[in-house]
């Protein structure tokens, strides 16, 4: 179990969400942390996918990507 301190605005938001959902503030915070973990894993997966695709296309820098986008727009 962890003890945390929250800024007042986050504490108020947590309390409001808990009341609206008929649950506890602890449950709201647990759900938020789980969601953040899933979102982070999804983001990392998307970044890895993008890196693989860029490498397969021979893109090595941001400048390469910009050139490709510019060529596509022309």
In a domain, 39, yes or no: yes
Instruction: Name the 3-class secondary structure at 41.
Output: helix
Q: How confident is the model at residue 1 (pLDDT cuts 50, 70, 90)?
A: low
In a domain, 56, yes or no: yes
pLDDT digits (tens, 9 = 90+) for 7-50: 999 999 999 999 999 999 999 999 999 999 999 999 999 999 99
> Domain limits at 54?
8-73
In a domain, 27, yes or no: yes
Q: Count structural domains, the chain.
A: 1
In a domain, 52, yes or no: yes
In a domain, 1, yes or no: no
In a domain, 2, yes or no: no
d(CA 1, CA 73): 53
In a domain, 14, yes or no: yes
- Confidence at residue 4, expressed as pLDDT on a 0 to 100 scale: 85
In a domain, 57, yes or no: yes
Model pTM score: 0.65
Rounded to the nearest 10°, the torsion over CA 21, 27, 33, 39 is: -40
């Amino acid at each position: 179990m962890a003890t945390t301190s929250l800024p007042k605005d986050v504490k108020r938001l947590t309390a409001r969400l808990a009341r609206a959902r008929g649950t506890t503030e602890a449950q709201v915070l647990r759900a938020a942390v789980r969601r953040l973990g899933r979102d982070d894993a999804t983001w990392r997966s998307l970044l890895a996918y993008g890196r693989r695709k860029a490498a397969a296309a021979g893109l090595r820098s941001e400048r390469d990507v910009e050139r490709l986008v510019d060529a596509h727009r022309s």
